[in-house]
C-alpha cells in the first residue's frame, strides 16, 4: 500500500472543541476511504489554539518560530488537508485566517482540501461557501465538492446525526479520490539542514 500523509488543521478555541470533534470524524472517515482505495495514511494534526502567540509574532516579525514552522511544514508537505474552523460573525475565525495568511505563496497550489465548519446555529452553514471556500480558491487549492457543516443539533445525544454522518462519508470519499489520484507529495526540504560549506569557510569567504 502507498502511504499518504493527511494534515488536519483545527481552528477550535476551546478544549474540548466541537471543531476538533468534527475534524476527528472527518479524519477517521477519510482514512477509512483511503484504505479502501489501497492507500495507507499517516495523520498529523495542527491545533491552531496552541500556535496563537506564534502566529501573532509571525505577523509582526515576518518569521515563524520552530513550533510554527513545524506546523506549516506539516500542512504544506501533506498529500491532503482537512481544514475545520468555527464560524464567528458569519465567517471563519481570525486565528484560522491568520494561519493561512502566513503560508508562503503557492504552498497549497493543487492540494486536495476538505472543508469543515462548526457554529452555534445552523444559520451559519452557508459561511463555508461564501467565506471559507473562496479563501482556498484564492490559494489555488483543490477543494472537494462537499463541505461539511455541523451545528449543535447535529451531535444527537453525543453521537452523530444520520444526515451529518452521510455528509462526512461523502466528503471523505471525495477527498480520498483526489488524494489517491495524485503522486505522493514531496516532503519539504530545509536548504540549511545539511550545509555543504562549513561556517568557517563562509566566514573566510571560501
Domains annotated for the chain, with CATH where assigned, are 2-203 (3.40.50.360)
Band (pLDDT 50/70/90 cuts) for residue 151 is: very high
> What are 144's three cell numbers?
472537494
The pLDDT tens digits for 21-66 are 999 999 999 999 999 999 999 999 999 999 999 999 999 999 999 9
Exposure of 183 in the CB half-sphere (CA atoms within 13 A): 3
Q: Where are the alpha helices (DSSP H) in 6-126?
A: 18-36, 52-61, 66-76, 94-101
Output the pLDDT for position 16.
84
Q: What is the pTM of this model?
A: 0.87
Amino acid at each position: 500500500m502507498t502511504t499518504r500523509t493527511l494534515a488536519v488543521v483545527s481552528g477550535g478555541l476551546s478544549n474540548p472543541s466541537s471543531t476538533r470533534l468534527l475534524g476527528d470524524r472527518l479524519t477517521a472517515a477519510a482514512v477509512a476511504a483511503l484504505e479502501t482505495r489501497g492507500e495507507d495514511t499517516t495523520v498529523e494534526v495542527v491545533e491552531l489554539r496552541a500556535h496563537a502567540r506564534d502566529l501573532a509574532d509571525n505577523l509582526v516579525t515576518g518569521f515563524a518560530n520552530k513550533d510554527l514552522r513545524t506546523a506549516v511544514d506539516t500542512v504544506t508537505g501533506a498529500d491532503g488537508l482537512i481544514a475545520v474552523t468555527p464560524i464567528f460573525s458569519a465567517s471563519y475565525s481570525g486565528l484560522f485566517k491568520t494561519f493561512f495568511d502566513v503560508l508562503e505563496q503557492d504552498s497549497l497550489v493543487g492540494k486536495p482540501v476538505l472543508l469543515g465548519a462548526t457554529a452555534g446555529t445552523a444559520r451559519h452553514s452557508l459561511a463555508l461557501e461564501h467565506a471559507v471556500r473562496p479563501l482556498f480558491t484564492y490559494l489555488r487549492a483543490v477543494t472537494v465538492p462537499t463541505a461539511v457543516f455541523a451545528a449543535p443539533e447535529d451531535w444527537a445525544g453525543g453521537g452523530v446525526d444520520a444526515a451529518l454522518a452521510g455528509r462526512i462519508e461523502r466528503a471523505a470519499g471525495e477527498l480520498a479520490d483526489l488524494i489517491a489520484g495524485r503522486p505522493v507529495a514531496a516532503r519539504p526540504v530545509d536548504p540549511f539542514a545539511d550545509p555543504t560549506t562549513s561556517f568557517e569557510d563562509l566566514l573566510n569567504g571560501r
